Amino acid sequence: MPCEHDGHRKRLKARFVKSGLDDFEPHNVLELLLFYSIPRKDTNPIAHKLISRFGSLSGVFDAKPEELMKVDGITENTAVLISMVPQMARKYLEDKADALNAIGGFKDIGMYLMPKFVGRTVETIMLASLDNKNKIISCNIISEGESDHATLSKRKVMEEAMRVGATRVILAHNHPRGFAMPSSEDIYLTKDIYALLSSVGIELVDHVIFAEDDFVSLAASGIDFRKR
């Protein structure tokens, strides 16, 4: 039997096909997504409940599945679907950024690394490894921690750079709940890592900090981490 909300669903889908999500309210975005895991219910009130509980559309997408399932109407299947959205967005953006196979400057660093932090709700530290022509060899997670802190092993940075045969590296981490500004601890740590890598012939080119759609480069900011 047809769902009593089929007409509304068809109209919302047609609106998306015609114009995309630009004019959608946050609850409409969720409502449309929920069509694909909740086939027989009105998803509008569920969408409103989600935004009310988590504060915003991004708050819903950043919520853990077990928290999502506390909202009436959200099953495990639906919670997984919602949680996949930022992860899939990151994969999409990373795939596009991977067309950049060499780092030519500050803008390239942001273009390549920013997508890798999309949807990450804990502080994550990454190391981009380059060859002597600034071609990208790899970019791997070195450490993950809490929403405002991650512990970094300086030796692990050196070992990773040596493992992939890097001659130059870029260190990057995010501030999921803060601003893209380096702390004094970030600067001291960068100086220590620069010295350690220099001892084995590897250059630390930059340390970049990301927060939402903003990023700050220590090198571009004039912070001289080459001197202790």
pLDDT at 1: 43
Residue 157, SS3 per DSSP: helix
> Rounded distance, CA 60 to CA 79, Å?
10
What does 188-210 look like in DSSP terms, one character per residue? HHHHHHHHHHHTTT-EEEEEEEE
Q: What share of the chain is helix, strand, coil (3-state, %, to 5)?
A: 45, 15, 40
pLDDT tens digits in sequence order for the chain, 228 residues long: 455 567 889 999 999 999 999 999 999 999 999 999 998 889 999 999 999 999 999 999 999 999 999 999 999 999 999 999 999 999 998 888 877 778 888 888 888 999 999 989 899 999 999 999 999 999 999 998 876 677 888 999 999 999 999 999 999 999 988 888 888 889 999 999 999 999 999 999 999 999 988 999 999 998 888 876
Q: Which residue has the tokens 């990454």?
A: 126
